[in-house]
């Protein structure tokens, strides 16, 4: 990878419904507009050997339907691209893995048609496992299903290469890390730091959580300063 620094940004649901992991539509548009105003552009992870000055990587976890309904038109308007991590056994279903959260709200996930539309607009998909289980608690056979079957299902269903994985709940251990490395070129964590470095493990990529009600000043801090690095300097297993 290139020595330059790239912020990788994390989103979940883009919706005006109040939910623990949602950003409302106007707030999301404000953030994307701000990136364009500051002359940032988005790239895909496999483009990091290109000229990456003022580049960002946009990621969406879980594959909520509202990503396609609300985020995609805004991304198209500002000519940004992104990757969405899909739970392969729950396409067109709902987010049952969030039920443990005290502010759980049942939300619809992207259908096959939604995902095809997403892909047809220069977006990518990655695997977020087959069922969104805590992978650190599974045996080898279960891990094979969650990691490798998920990739096979997505590639066969959508006729697209799936080279990226996102660890459910951010749970990682050495064994899981070694299995993911065999099947994917890249893997994304919930470790909070700003950038990818040339020496950074491509299977332990850190990301910045773009929460709701983020002021322009706070966005600037997240993208251009050590704000996130100081908050959470932990980029290894």
- Whether residue 73 is predicted with pLDDT greater than 80 in this model: the reply is yes
Query: How many residues make up the chain in this entry?
Result: 237
pLDDT for residue 57:
94
pLDDT tier, 152 (very low <50, low <70, confident <90, very high otherwise): very high
Residue 109, token pair as written in the block: 């996930």
User: pLDDT category, 162, cuts 50, 70, 90?
Assistant: very high
Model confidence pLDDT, tens digit, residues 115-126: 999 999 999 999
More confident residue, 181 or 226: 181
pLDDT confidence tier of residue 27, bands split at 50, 70 and 90: very high
pLDDT of residue 77 exceeding 90: yes
In DSSP notation, 41-79 reads EE--GGGTTS--TTEEEEEEEETBHHIIIIIHHHHHHTT
Query: 224 falls in which pLDDT band (50, 70, 90)?
Result: low
Diameter of the chain measured on Cα atoms: 48
Which domains are seen in the chain, by residue range? Answer: 8-125+189-231 (3.20.20.370)
Contact criterion met (CB below 8 Å) for 159 and 120: no
Give CA angle at 207 (166, 44), nearest 5°.
70
What digits encode the pLDDT tens for the residues 193-210?
656 555 578 999 988 888
d(CA 140, CA 123): 32
Phi, psi of 196 (to 5 degrees): -95, 135
DSSP 110: P
pLDDT score of 198: 54
Burial (CB count <10 Å: 0-12, 13-18, 19+), residue 96: middle
The three-class DSSP label of residue 85 is strand
Reference 204, options 162, 237, 227, 182; nearest CA is: 237
């Amino acid at each position: 990878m290139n020595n330059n620094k790239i912020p990788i940004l994390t989103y979940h649901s883009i919706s005006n419904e109040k939910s623990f992991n949602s950003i409302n539509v106007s707030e999301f548009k404000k953030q994307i507009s701000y990136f364009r105003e500051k002359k940032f552009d988005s790239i895909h992870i496999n483009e990091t050997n290109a000229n990456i000055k003022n580049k960002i990587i946009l990621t969406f976890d879980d594959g909520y339907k509202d990503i396609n309904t609300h985020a995609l038109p805004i991304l198209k308007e500002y000519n940004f691209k992104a990757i969405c991590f899909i739970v392969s056994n729950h396409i067109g279903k709902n987010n049952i893995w969030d039920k443990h959260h005290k502010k759980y709200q049942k939300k619809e996930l992207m259908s096959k048609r939604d995902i095809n539309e997403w892909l047809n607009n220069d977006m990518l998909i990655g695997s977020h496992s087959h069922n969104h289980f805590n992978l650190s608690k599974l045996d080898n056979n279960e891990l094979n299903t969650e990691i490798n079957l998920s990739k096979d299902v997505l590639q066969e269903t959508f006729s697209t290469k799936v080279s990226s994985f996102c660890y459910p709940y951010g749970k990682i251990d050495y064994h899981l890390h070694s299995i993911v490395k065999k099947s994917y070129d890249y893997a994304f964590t919930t470790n909070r730091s700003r950038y990818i470095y040339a020496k950074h493990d491509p299977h332990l990529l850190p990301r910045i959580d773009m929460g709701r009600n983020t002021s322009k000043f706070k966005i600037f801090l997240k993208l251009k300063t050590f704000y996130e690095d100081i908050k959470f300097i932990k980029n290894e297993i």
